[in-house]
Amino acid sequence: MLIKEKIAQAVGILQEYSIDCWIIFTRESQINGDPVLPFLVPAPLTWHSALIITADGDTRAIVGSYDRQTLKDIGAYDEVVGYVEGIKKPLLEYLQKKNPKTIAINYSKESETCDGLTHGMYLTLVEYLGEIGFEQRLLSAENIVSALRQRKTSIELEYIQEAIWYTERIFKGVSRFISPGRTEEEIAQYIRNEVESAKLEFAWDQKTCPSVFSGPETAGAHYNPTARKVEPGHILNIDLGLKVNGYCSDLQRTFYVLRKDETAVPPEVRKGFDTIVETIEKARQVMKPGVQGIEIDRIAREYIVSNGYNEFPHALGHQVGRYAHDGTALLGPPWEKYAHRPYHPLEEGMVFTLEPRLTVEGYGVATVENMVVVTATGAEYISTPQTQLILIKK
C-alpha cells in the first residue's frame, strides 16, 4: 500500500536530516486538512489528531476513538491510540517516553504544500509542549514534507503516467473536434464530456480546466474558456490536467488553424513553435540531480530571448504529484514570488512540467507543456512530447 511505502520513506528522510521526530497535528481535516495527510491516512480525521513518525522507525497515531479502527485497518502504524476525552494526555506521555531533541512540525514561509499546520493548532501544540518543557524543540518540517512529496515511488509514477495516458487520449479526440466557427467554450465542453464519460477527475477546478485560448490577444493562462470563435489563422492552445488514483497530469498542446488558401504553416508561426520545442529539449538535457531549478529556467529563458521573443512571465516548470502544482522545488527565475524555491537542487524522482511560452504577433500564443521525471543521470519524458504543430484543416 502506498501509505506504508510513504511512511517508510519518511523514516529514512528523518534519519537523513537528523531530525528525531515529526508530528502532523490536525483536526477536522475535511474542512482544513494538512496537504500531507493523503500520504499518511486513508480518510479525513475528526478530532485533534497526531500522526507521529520518529527517526528510529517508531510510528504512532493518536486520534479520536471513532477514527481508530480506520487507521488500524491500514496496518501502517506500530500503534494506533484512540482517546475519548482529549489528546493531550496520551500525546505528552508518548513524547516524554521518546524524549526527542528535535520535533518537526508542518509550517513553512515559502512552500504551501509544507504549511499545513494552522496557527490555532500551532498555539495548542506549543501550549501542550510547554507543560513538559518541549516547546523549544520545535522546527519546520519543510525538508521532510518536500522530500516526501517530490521523491516519487514506482507506484506514484505509475499513477501519474496513467493520468497522462488518459489526457493524451483526450487531446487526440479534441483535435478532430476543433474547427473554425466553434467557440473556446464548445471545445472545453467537448473535453468535459469526454472526462465525464470516462469517469475521470480534473486536476484542478473545471472553470479553468481545460483552458482553451484561440488567436491573438486572449486573456492568457489561468482563465476560463470564452465565446470567442476559432478562426482560420489562429494559434490555439489547450491546457488540460486529469487526476487518476489521486495523482495528476498537466499538459498543454498547441494547434494551428489553416486558412483556406494555406498549404503550409506561416514561417513566423513555424519559427515560434519550433523555438518552444527546442527550448524544452535544451532544458531537459541539462536537468539532473544536484542542478538548481534557477539554472534550468535561465537556459530556457535566454534561448527564448535570443530568438527575438520576450521572456515568458512565469516559471519554466513546476512539480506535479497529488496536485497539478505540487512540491517545493521549482524551475524558475529569482523573482520575489518564488522566494527560495528556484534554488532547491533537483532530486531523483521529481516530476516536472516544462512549459515555456511566447507570443507570435497576430496569431496567438505558442506553448507546449510536457512532463519529465528526474532520473539518476538526467531527465526523461513521461509524456509524449509534442514536436509538431497539430494542424486543423477543416
* Host H or E run for residue 32: helix 29-32
| pTM of this structure | 0.94
Exposed, middle or buried: residue 58 (CB in 10 Å: 0-12, 13-18, 19+)?
A: middle
Percent of the chain with pLDDT over 70: 100
pLDDT at 43 over 80: yes
Chain segment 239-250, per-residue pLDDT in tens: 999 999 999 999
Q: In b/e form, how buried is each residue of 225-263, taking b as 16+ CB within 10 angstroms?
A: beebebebbbbbbbbbbbbbeebbbbbbbbbbbbeeeee
Q: Are 301 and 294 in contact (CB under 8 A)?
A: no
pLDDT at residue 222 tops 80: no
How is domain 151-392 classified at the CATH fold level? Creatine Amidinohydrolase (3.90.230)
Residue 392 is placed in which grid cell?
Answer: 486543423
Same CATH topology for 2-149 and 151-392? Answer: no
pLDDT in tens, 54-109: 999 999 999 999 999 999 999 999 999 999 999 999 999 999 999 999 999 999 99
* Amino acid at site 254: T
Integer Cα distance of 209 and 202 in angstroms: 7
CA diameter of the chain:
80
2-149 adopts what CATH topology? Creatine Amidinohydrolase; Chain A, domain 1 (3.40.350)
Annotated domain spans of the chain:
2-149, 151-392
